[in-house]
Structure 1
Amino acid sequence: MRRSRAVRAGSVLAAAVLALSACSGGTDDKAGVNVDVNSMKTGKGESVDDYKLADAPESEEVKVGVDDSFTSYNANVPGAGHPGANAVLTAVLAKPFELDGANKVLLNRDVMDSVTVLNKDPQVVQWKIKADVKWSDGQPWSCRDLYLSWLAQSGAAKGADGKPVFTAADSSGYNLVDSASCKDETTFEAHFKKPYLDYKALFSTTGWVLPAHVLEAKAGIPDVTKLTPAGDPAVLKKAADFWNKGWRDFTPELMPASGPYKIAAVDKNAESVTLEKNPQWAGAKGGPKKVTIRAIKDKNEMASALENGELDVISSSQPDESVTKKLQGLSGKGVVCGSTQQLSFEHLDFNYKRMFGDIALRKAFMAAVDRKAIVDKLIKPVYSDAQPLGSVQFFQGESGYQDRYSTKSGLGPEAAAKILTDAGWTKDPDGIFAKNGKRFEVTVTYAPSDLRANAAQLIISQAKQAGILVHGEADPKFTKGRAQQGGFDIALFGWSQAPFKAEGAEVYRTAANGPSHNWQGLSDPKIDQAFTAAVSATDPAEATKQYAAADQAIADQYATLPLFATPAIWAFRGIDRVYLQSYNGVLWNVGEWARTS
């Protein structure tokens, strides 16, 4: 599941955090020489702080295999923003800032002239779009599109009932904009209520920019920039109804492209998407004419498709040892392979509205779960340097990281049992703890994946030794509505994040009347205060200090247990350089791929 976070301006996650491991080598099948995958993390047209798609020889079709299918053009609504959407949209929808393979934040010079802080207090930021940037249908990619993104994701546009009319998944940053306007067709200006160091996330990692002209035509809105959050609720609802639901099924005329590729076809039965070159694209015109993206759930099947030449590129989250070894063994056939830890992590969330409203139960469960055993068995065979993650705000090696969970988790069954005994729980004859006629019996729920299923089984076994009865439940729709509604005892899933930080606040801060990712019912003034201070800090060092304070307050609540940074693997053959961008996938620079065979 995608959950973007916002970043203190100018900071970049240390490369060491996401170092390569396992199958990071390969041979070129023409030259027969070793290939350094790590050298592929920068774009060919990248320069200092700027990104441009480089010129590349035109080629025919490339076929790409990914884990998840594409489901929605509007990935800004709850449940739609996941890796399957990112994999496609990163090549289809332009954004002011790009992330390269090293997670460096770069101004997208193909579509932007500048993004400038005009004033620091109060903060005013201006986005200046290049002249003549167009959607694939010939309409301008303009200030109207940025204005719609702000209006829809700010949470400020209310209906007659006083509730937000746009069902945006995330309002981070947009909700701090006091007013916004179009100075001209290419200039968007935002006046902030409070300082926001992470403004570069807006319209880039926090929400895709969608075509305002399509919404205007379908909703009967003459000019979206005339709509304001305090405007006529009935008119706002007309706009919101289309924004919320109008971009669900694939309708080509409603889903133009602003990036180098456009969506030509979607086959839901085959779980495939076909991309073709966007004739109106503002940047370099080379690279593959056609890109076919297939979702393949079986990772061994995906690897076999690469081996057999049915696919040219594959990328997969949560690979197991057998897939990793299989791909390593293909280097003699010209396959280049790399593995890394992504900007995402697996974790357990405890639902405060059910049994885990009792902190003694949260403490006992954490004590019973041996994360090192999980990592050693499931992750190290894929990524040899893996270790349990000790933070929900920082990755290992990042400034601000501190292990806050090693003294809380993996303490052993005896320690877990003592916590329960001290809280008045006693064991039933079958060895399961109970109190006042209620047994410590819970379910861990997750979206199906082999890695999560195996992790759940280890957790079930560890918990049982401590007198806690845990059931495992795989639900294909878990992160597509049920989790958001709090329908779980323990949720096992992953948060995906950009190298920005501010949006993490919406996961742990007290849920308000608006977009929120706090699905577990957590509420703590210490957490809220630390995030408020961090998000509006004007000094990066102070922001890090406050994010660390929030991180500690979350750990003190025993609210969530981070397990490990999610491993990923990618492999390719017959293309000069492919690198898995840990947030947007392998297609972030597909327009500059060059065929080698």
Structure 2
Amino acid sequence: MAVAVVAALAVLSSCSNTPPPPVVGTVAPKPSAAAAKPGEIVVGVDSITGGYNPHALADQSTITTALSTLLLPSAFRTAPDGSPQLDRTLMVSADVTKTEPYTVTYRIRGDAAWSDGAPIAAEDFLYLRAQMRDEPGGVDSAGYRLITDIKSEDSGKVVQVTFATPYPGWRSLFSSLLPAHLLKDAPGGWEQVLKTSFPATAGPFSIKQLDIPRGEIVLERNERYWEQPAVADRVTLRRADPAGLTDALRTGHDQLVVARSDAGGVAMLQSLGDKVAVKSAPRPTVVGMFLKPSGQDLADERVRTALVNLLDRDEVIKVGTGGGPSIRADALILAPSQPGYAPTGPLPHDPAAAQVLLTQAGYSPISGIWVREGRPLSVTLGAPADREPYLAVAKEVQRQLVAAGVQVKLVTPVADQLMRSGGTDAGPNILIGPRPVGDNPAAVLASVYGCTPNTTDAKTVLPGNVVGFCDESLQPTIDAALNGSKSLAEAIGIVEPRLWRQAVAVPLFQLADSVAARAELTTGDLTAPLNAPFASAVRWQRKQN
């Protein structure tokens, strides 16, 4: 991929007077770094594995959030209270300028530019809208699908976005813009965007080195940044296991740790006592189980409900969280970290009820296996091989269902392949995967559970609807929540009970990281929902002894 992108950039640079952007790929392993240098802040993490596309469900991770926050421009960013806030490092203004048709006008700063000198402009808005509208496996596709037109003025620095209906959640759009001039014709298309590198950046930091074998990403202050520069000269993200992370904090080689921890990992960090402050930071992701309502078996709501009833959800959550800071989730739309969250379910662990439902659906227990018309009840369970804790959760689900008499085939493709195929006939009929958490929950509702508009092709599903679920009787309520004619609370009161009864999704827990900072590190809020802890990194400062 890196070679292909370099070739593409060489062609682009031959047509321009501006120097080509630095392309970051993997480099040969080097000896492990020692203590942080003056002006450097080292952050210990549990993984630096890509891809790094913040708009792809498959790439949702702490490292992706960190890099998109520090390297990519956004029209709005999530404030500590969870609301979208205009990012004035990129934007002059963004306002609704017409109600019929509903139009939002964005004015981009004239000095805002990518690291290769190309201006951040309307084409970046156009590119992101096209990918989010059409590509499977995307985050928050519903809002982008409401856009009917994007017009450019003032050399692309004024962008007029027209919507099909009023859309009060428009502020959630156009975050983490991507360099369209480099990506729109890049080999591999959307599937390869930010898979292993960033062809150009536009934030307070730039990438000096991305070394996956060594487990290190080095970010340096972006000298081309047009806004107030970062306080730190360098932020280094360095991978280690729990013991290594704890030891690096103890010795001062790391100043901060941001990592998914089990109970043992949390205890290690807490053992450092007054040297560090240990907290938890919710990620914008809920781990869930999704059941595709199609096929010989799962098209029957009784079968889906029975499978859910067979699961000891408490045990699944215990395995997935490992006793760490991740938070149990008992609602289908809002996450535990969001305002207004309240448990709305879930379906109970009730093996007796499951047996009744399977019997009603025509199955009989034969030699410990549920069988109908000579064929055993069999499901294909999918989880991404390259992402934890999804695989561990899937193995526990498989263990429990097999013990209850259901045949389970576990498939573990890479995350991108799994998320892109989930809603198609080729994908598994039960999926363990991420549900996004955003500052516009109505868009999450419409993206994850909404029907595909303007198509008669049953195989066409919304990019974020990972199992192709569609209940046309719920769609008016979903649309009303999206356009603001019905409050989110009212929509949730209508939609969630129906979703629970149909057993198409079972939330498990919201991912959260352990965040441990040494006393000499001055930071902002490291635990604000959805954007912590890297939103304040531009102000991080290390006190020198």
Scaled by the length of structure 1, the TM-score of the pair is: 0.74
Residue 280 of structure 2 corresponds to which residue in structure 1?
339
Residue 179 of structure 1 corresponds to which residue in structure 2?
149
Residue 496 in structure 1 maps to residue 456 in structure 2: no
Contact 1:576 1:595 (C-alpha < 8 Å) held by counterparts: yes
Aligned match for 2:41, one of 43, 59, 62: 62
Residue 477 of structure 2 corresponds to which residue in structure 1?
530
- Residues 1:115 and 1:567: Cα distance change in structure 2 (over 3 Å): same
SS, match of residue 346 in structure 1: strand
- Residues 1:341 and 1:286: Cα distance change in structure 2 (over 3 Å): closer
Residues 95-139 of structure 1, C-alpha deviations (whole Å, 9 max, x = no match): 121224442322112222211111234311111122322323333
SS, match of residue 118 in structure 2: coil
- Residues 1:458 and 1:306: Cα distance change in structure 2 (over 3 Å): same
Residue 211 in structure 1 maps to residue 187 in structure 2: no
Contact 1:257 1:278 (C-alpha < 8 Å) held by counterparts: no
SS, match of residue 267 in structure 2: helix
Residue 320 of structure 1 corresponds to which residue in structure 2?
262
Distance, in Å, in 2 between the alignment partners of 1:377 and 1:256 is 39
- Runs of 4+ off more than 6 Å: 166-169
Residues 502-542 of structure 1, C-alpha deviations (whole Å, 9 max, x = no match): 1332222235657512232322212333222221224xx53
Distance, in Å, in 1 between the alignment partners of 2:272 and 2:252 is 12
Residue 500 of structure 2 corresponds to which residue in structure 1?
555
SS, match of residue 372 in structure 1: helix
SS, match of residue 542 in structure 2: coil
- Residues 1:552 and 1:263: Cα distance change in structure 2 (over 3 Å): same
Contact 1:61 1:291 (C-alpha < 8 Å) held by counterparts: yes
User: Counterpart amino acid of 1:428?
Assistant: I
Distance, in Å, in 2 between the alignment partners of 1:325 and 1:447 is 28
Residue 46 of structure 1 corresponds to which residue in structure 2?
none
Distance, in Å, in 2 between the alignment partners of 1:193 and 1:532 is 12
SS, match of residue 293 in structure 1: strand
Contact 1:113 1:130 (C-alpha < 8 Å) held by counterparts: yes
1:375 is displaced (CA, Å) by: 4.3
Residue 13 of structure 1 corresponds to which residue in structure 2?
none
SS, match of residue 259 in structure 1: coil
Residue 409 of structure 1 corresponds to which residue in structure 2?
348
Distance, in Å, in 2 between the alignment partners of 1:268 and 1:108 is 31
Residue 166 of structure 2 corresponds to which residue in structure 1?
195
1:242 is displaced (CA, Å) by: 7.5
Distance, in Å, in 2 between the alignment partners of 1:514 and 1:488 is 15
Alignment of 1:364-379 (within 5 A): 364-375=306-317, 379=321
Residues 536-589 of structure 1, C-alpha deviations (whole Å, 9 max, x = no match): 224xx5343224433333222111111222232111223112614543453222
Structure 2: 5+ residue stretches without partners:
1-36
1:187 is displaced (CA, Å) by: 1.3
- Residues 1:112 and 1:422: Cα distance change in structure 2 (over 3 Å): same
Structure 1: 5+ residue stretches without partners:
1-57, 156-163, 220-238
- Residues 1:536 and 1:100: Cα distance change in structure 2 (over 3 Å): closer
Distance, in Å, in 2 between the alignment partners of 1:570 and 1:189 is 40
Residues 129-171 of structure 1, C-alpha deviations (whole Å, 9 max, x = no match): 223223233332233433433344444xxxxxxxx8x996653
1:196 is displaced (CA, Å) by: 0.8
Distance, in Å, in 2 between the alignment partners of 1:325 and 1:591 is 29
Scaled by the length of structure 2, the TM-score of the pair is: 0.80
Contact 2:384 2:418 (C-alpha < 8 Å) held by counterparts: no
Contact 1:414 1:466 (C-alpha < 8 Å) held by counterparts: no
Aligned match for 2:122, one of 132, 143, 147: 143
Identity %: 22
Residues 413-464 of structure 1, C-alpha deviations (whole Å, 9 max, x = no match): 22221221232211112x2221112223435432356755554455455445
Contact 1:96 1:112 (C-alpha < 8 Å) held by counterparts: yes
- Residues 1:284 and 1:471: Cα distance change in structure 2 (over 3 Å): same
Contact 1:405 1:561 (C-alpha < 8 Å) held by counterparts: no
Distance, in Å, in 2 between the alignment partners of 1:504 and 1:435 is 35
347-356 vs 106-115, greater mean Cα deviation: 347-356
- Residues 1:292 and 1:544: Cα distance change in structure 2 (over 3 Å): same
Residue 131 of structure 1 corresponds to which residue in structure 2?
110
Residue 300 of structure 2 corresponds to which residue in structure 1?
358
- Count residues in correspondence: 492
Distance, in Å, in 2 between the alignment partners of 1:250 and 1:562 is 30
- Residues 1:98 and 1:373: Cα distance change in structure 2 (over 3 Å): same
1:311 is displaced (CA, Å) by: 2.6
Residue 25 of structure 2 corresponds to which residue in structure 1?
none
Contact 1:353 1:520 (C-alpha < 8 Å) held by counterparts: no
Residues 262-287 of structure 1, C-alpha deviations (whole Å, 9 max, x = no match): 12222232243221111121222242
Residue 111 of structure 1 corresponds to which residue in structure 2?
90
Distance, in Å, in 2 between the alignment partners of 1:464 and 1:197 is 46
Contact 1:527 1:554 (C-alpha < 8 Å) held by counterparts: no
- Residues 1:212 and 1:460: Cα distance change in structure 2 (over 3 Å): closer
1:356 is displaced (CA, Å) by: 1.8
Residue 40 of structure 1 corresponds to which residue in structure 2?
none
Aligned match for 2:200, one of 244, 256, 261: 256
User: Counterpart amino acid of 2:164?
Assistant: K
